Amino acid sequence: MGRTGREALETHLPRIKSELKPDIIVVNVDNASHGRGITEQHANDILALGVDCMTGGDHIWDQRQIIPYIAREERLLRPDNFPVSTPGNGSLLVRAENGRTCLIIHALGRVFTKALDDPFAAVKKIVDKYAIGKTVDSIIVDFHAEATSEKMAMGHFLDGRVSAVVGSHTHIPTADCHVMVGGTAFQADAGMTGDYDSVIGVRKDIPVQKFVKQMPGERMVPSNGPATLCGCLITTNDANGLARSIEPIRLGGVLPETMPSA
């Protein structure tokens, strides 16, 4: 979320890479530039940190310069359930340095958000082409959605067929990290990387006054206090691609820190 979120990623990602040694790093960048979408420069800066894939969300087109960029940079995903004529792609197959392959799928929910194609059908169409533990080592789904019910439904819909379903969009890290019955890791929302002394990353006085007065007010701008990096670590079983564990990550800022053991 904005400059402070980008700075937190730059500050804390080296520690995550050093201590946890992840094979694949996925970052949601829906609010990375000024709180609305992402610019080409900021996208390149994030990739330069060693990020393998960036997912967008409902703000993917807010920075107009990203339209030609996403057409040529496959590591930036837009939701797959946009119309087929939309530039960019909704999935990416990544090969890690150790040879393991990870399919990353990005979809946008429909409850309280945009009226797009069915995200469940869109994700299923992709998943039907792969088999975790056989044709691909792991499959990670970033489901960018408002309603926790829709996110949980997606988790159960894909349970046993993908390695993990992790939600984004609401800017609040949920305390429901767990491995579902069929072996799919789930978290309703990985949380915002940004300043939590705010209203979901926005300078707090602006939305507070809007709620109190119920009138249009100052333009929403990102809060620029110390940021917390939020995310999760997913560990998979090499034999079948299903999840062994999912653990939250929170570093810096005002939230209590938590870091998985290496």
CA atoms within 13 A on the CB side of 151: 27
Work out the angle at residue 161's Cα, subtended by the Cα atoms of residues 123 and 155, and round it to the nearest 5 degrees.
65
The token pair that represents 176 in the structure block: 């429901």
Query: What is the DSSP annotation of 196-216?
Result: SSSBTTB-THHHHHHHHH-S-
Distance CA 202, CA 213 (A): 17
Residues with active-site annotation: 59
CB within 8 Å of 49: residues ≥ 6 apart: 9, 10, 13
Q: With contact defined as beta carbons under 8 Å apart, do 228 and 193 qualify? A: yes
